């Protein structure tokens, strides 16, 4: 989707130049003078560009933020005066970025891409919160915030940035490139890295650290700030286009460095919140709300991956456990007790299986247990252990009485050879195992038939599929 940029500029020549540059960059552009600001912002753009001809851009910034409200877009200020004090005044007023005019086109477009990209997590978090409130969901309680870690990475014992600011709640450290990439560093969470690309320290290995940090699991979500020489626009472009959160010239004021680092840490916090929200949503989608076990949807996806990953000599076991006489329990004691029985049995099954095994609720009183690497003797022993554990643990009710509970289990074994045999019977040639090709249904049906035989033979026993 094309990003929309509103250009506010009082010089017709500058308006034309900026509009042409952004149009060539495939942006949707709206243009107007500062007197037309309200009209330009009727439909909130993805970014606002204040041109060099706006007489008092700093005073206009708060008005733009007020007009656009909670969905305030990033604001880029182009100015012929980018002295540290003027830059800081614009940033403190609410500008997202301040760039020198006349602009370097490559640097300008890299900055624009970066600020639009960084603004999206804030908008997404706001959308999710609004949607949650509309559904009546309470906002998550605030959690304890540990001290954040900020690591300055420099091959020089005395880094170029001399006037380094202190930030409340942030622990600052210095280390070299090799330390950051060491195995020990993987166990320590870092909120942001600052990479020194200035002067003689801007070597190829130092610059290669940026994509390395973005590629590694333990650092890919951290904020990354690159320090570069004031006139080295190319370094800023390379940093931003390779995944840096911000690129900061070394001639900025100490207060600007602090402000930028605070914004980088805030962005990291918002992204972390979004990831946790997504993970929680996925967890809700794949968990059974009553027992806390994985549900059938997850179990089938898990089995599909397990089956497709089997080596020829790696067997796995699949069991279906069914609570005996569960309807009678519900009819005699009520559904509240029935729910208690389901939860207790689920807990007992989990307690008697390994962390690498899967226990899922298929629905009703049926459970699926998958032992990823197990031969028949091991699986049979595990099934008997599960049956005995449940049968020897009656459910205690509030009135002191007990409900005897037993389970019947159907056990089937699988390996790559068996899968290929089933595939051959179905004349399937695709290498991947999918939920729709019938193979998984066959695997579950084999265990289900063994379960029915266990029921027919008197319940509270294990039967193996033949």
Token look-up 């930030």 returns: 167
Q: Which two tokens stand for residue 266?
A: 């805030």
Q: Are 465 and 411 in contact (CB under 8 A)?
A: yes
Rounded CA separation 214/353 (Å): 37
Token look-up 């622990």 returns: 171
Give the number of other CB atoms < 10 A from CB of residue 263. Answer: 17
Q: Is there a catalytic annotation at residue 373?
A: no
Q: Which two tokens stand for residue 21?
A: 């540059």
Pairing state between β 358-363 and 407-414: unpaired
Rounded CA separation 49/61 (Å): 10
Q: Which of 9, 97, 191, 365 is catalytic?
A: 365
Largest CA-CA distance found in the chain, in angstroms, rounded? 91
Rounded CA separation 202/177 (Å): 12
Q: Which two tokens stand for residue 402?
A: 């007990």
Pairing state between β 395-396 and 170-175: unpaired
Token look-up 């506010």 returns: 8
- Give CA angle at 166 (175, 197), nearest 5°: 45
Rounded CA separation 257/77 (Å): 17
Q: Which two tokens stand for residue 198?
A: 């200035």
Give the number of other CB atoms < 10 A from CB of residue 264. Answer: 24
Q: Enumerate residues 6+ apart whose C-beta is below 8 A from 339.
A: 290
Q: Return the sign of the alpha-carbon dihedral for residues 33, 35, 37, 42.
A: negative
Give the number of other CB atoms < 10 A from CB of residue 342. Answer: 22
Q: Are 432 and 330 in contact (CB under 8 A)?
A: no
Rounded CA separation 226/210 (Å): 9
Pairing state between β 75-79 and 97-100: parallel
Nearest of 376, 86, 143, 97 to residue 276 by alpha carbon? 143
Give the number of other CB atoms < 10 A from CB of residue 278. Answer: 11
Give the number of other CB atoms < 10 A from CB of residue 139. Answer: 8
Rounded CA separation 456/452 (Å): 6
- Can the peptide bond before residue 102 be classed as cis, meaning omega within 30 degrees of 0? yes
Q: Which residues are catalytic?
A: 365
């Amino acid at each position: 989707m094309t990003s929309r940029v509103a250009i506010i500029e009082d010089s017709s020549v500058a308006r034309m130049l900026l509009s042409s540059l952004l149009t060539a960059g495939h942006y949707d552009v709206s243009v107007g003078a500062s007197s037309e600001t309200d009209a330009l912002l009727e439909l909130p753009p993805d970014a606002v560009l204040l041109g060099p001809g706006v007489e008092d851009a700093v005073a206009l910034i708060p008005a733009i933020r007020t007009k656009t409200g909670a969905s305030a877009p990033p604001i880029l200020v182009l100015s012929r005066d980018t002295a540290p004090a003027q830059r800081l005044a614009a940033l403190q007023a609410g500008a997202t970025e301040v760039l020198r005019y006349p602009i370097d086109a490559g640097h300008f477009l890299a900055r624009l891409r970066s600020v639009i990209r960084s603004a999206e997590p804030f908008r997404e978090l706001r959308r999710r919160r609004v949607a949650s409130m509309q559904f009546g969901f309470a906002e998550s309680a605030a959690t304890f915030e540990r001290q954040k870690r900020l690591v300055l990475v420099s091959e020089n014992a005395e880094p170029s940035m001399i006037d380094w600011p202190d930030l409340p709640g942030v622990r600052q450290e210095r280390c070299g490139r090799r330390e950051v990439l060491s195995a020990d560093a993987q166990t320590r969470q870092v909120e942001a890295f600052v990479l020194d690309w200035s002067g003689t320290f801007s070597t190829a290995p130092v610059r290669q650290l940026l994509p390395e940090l973005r590629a590694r699991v333990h650092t890919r979500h951290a904020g990354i700030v690159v320090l570069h020489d004031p006139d080295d626009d190319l370094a800023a472009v390379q940093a931003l286009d390779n995944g840096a959160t911000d690129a900061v010239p070394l001639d900025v004021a100490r207060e600007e460095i602090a402000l930028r680092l605070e914004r980088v840490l805030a962005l990291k916090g918002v992204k972390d919140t979004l990831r946790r929200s997504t993970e929680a949503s996925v967890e809700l989608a794949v968990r059974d709300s009553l027992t806390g076990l994985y549900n059938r949807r997850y179990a089938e996806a898990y089995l599909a991956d397990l089956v497709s990953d089997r080596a020829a000599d790696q067997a796995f076991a699949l069991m279906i456990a069914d609570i005996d006489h569960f309807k009678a329990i519900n009819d005699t004691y009520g559904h509240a007790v029935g729910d208690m029985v389901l939860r207790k049995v689920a807990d007992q099954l989990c307690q008697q299986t390994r962390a690498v095994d899967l226990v899922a609720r298929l629905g009703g009183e049926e459970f699926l247990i998958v032992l990823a690497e197990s031969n028949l003797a091991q699986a049979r022993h595990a099934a008997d252990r599960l049956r005995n554990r449940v049968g020897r643990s009656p459910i205690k009710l509030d009135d002191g009485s007990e409900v005897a509970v037993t389970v019947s289990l159907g056990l089937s074994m699988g390996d790559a050879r068996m899968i290929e045999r089933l595939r051959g019977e179905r004349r399937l040639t695709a290498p991947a195992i999918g939920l729709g090709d019938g193979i998984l249904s066959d695997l579950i049906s084999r265990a289900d038939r063994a379960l029915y035989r266990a029921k027919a033979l008197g319940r509270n026993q294990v039967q193996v599929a033949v």
